[in-house]
Amino acid sequence: MELKITAKGYKVTPDFTKIAEKKVMKLEKLFNDDENVVATVSITKEKTSYKTTLVVKYRAFDFRAEYEDGTPYDAIDIIIPRIEGQIRKQKDIWAKSKKGSENVYDEEEGK
């Protein structure tokens, strides 16, 4: 999993980078070690708060969550469970579609 951190009006500290990397890497277990996963954390300084957005790109899907709070540290704690829920929901949809995809017809019925 690749992690990118961008900021506008906020200086990204090494502490935030370390914490964000630790928390985002928890999502890696949901992707079965697929290397084509890219996570992007964007921080934008608003007037009195910070808007933190996390976008996880996996295959043709973009999982996105954002939260506006006083600090980006608190926002990342709230965003991660939201993304986990989106990923699990999508995996359930994939699993349900795979169950009905088997060919159940016998060769003799087609004659």
Query: pLDDT digits over 59-84, tens only?
Result: 888 999 999 988 899 999 999 999 99
CA dist 82 and 55 (Å) reads 11
CA dist 10 and 13 (Å) reads 9
pTM of the model: 0.81
Which domain covers residue 14, as residue numbers? 2-98
CA dist 36 and 34 (Å) reads 6
Phi, psi of 103 (to 5 degrees): -85, 115
Query: Has residue 44 been placed in a domain?
Result: yes
Looking at the structure of the chain, the number of domains it has is 1
pLDDT tens sequence across 16-62: 999 999 999 888 888 876 678 999 999 999 989 999 999 999 888 89
CATH code, domain with 8: 3.30.160.100
**Inter-CA distances, 103 with 84, 96, 99, 100, 109, Å:** 32, 15, 10, 8, 12
Query: Has residue 110 been placed in a domain?
Result: no
Length of the chain, in residues: 111
